[in-house]
Amino acid sequence: QVQLQESGPGLVKPSQTLSLTCTVSGGSISSGYYYWSWIRQPAGKGLEWIGRVYTSGSTNYNPSLESRVTISVDTSKNQFSLKLTSVTAADTAVYYCARGYGDFDYWGQGTLVTVSS
């Protein structure tokens, strides 16, 4: 059973960089034709897809965030990561990592990131 777990700081100051890591267990991040995505959800609101990475390092981003987002993969550690620069209060949300191609079949539990000074 594949499991995903997000980790990273829960509090980030405005204008700084948000950095999160998703650790995959129960299977190799390199196996199968899977992409690895980040999705976020502000409190009480809906879901927003941030972007995805393939094990080759190939990425696709949401144009609304593309100028500030970098998603990368480290196959040796079975992890993939999110960096979001120049954060504001509008970036406060629960951040989820998920696996999928065409749908998201496995999700992490999510991690709350608050942007505040």
Cα separation, 56 vs 41, in Å, equals: 27
Q: For residues 67-106, which are near other proteins according to CB under 8 A?
A: 96, 100-105
Q: How far is the CB of 2 from other proteins (least distance, A)?
A: 11
- Does residue 95 contact residue 111 with C-beta atoms inside 8 Å? yes
Measured from the CB atom, the residue of 7 and 62 that comes closer to other proteins is 62
Rounded CA separation 95/108 (Å): 9
Minimal distance, residue 41 CB to other proteins, in Å: 8
Q: Which 18-57 residues touch other proteins, going by CB under 8 A?
A: 37, 46-49
110 binds other proteins (CB under 8 A): yes
Q: Are 82 and 18 in contact (CB under 8 A)?
A: yes
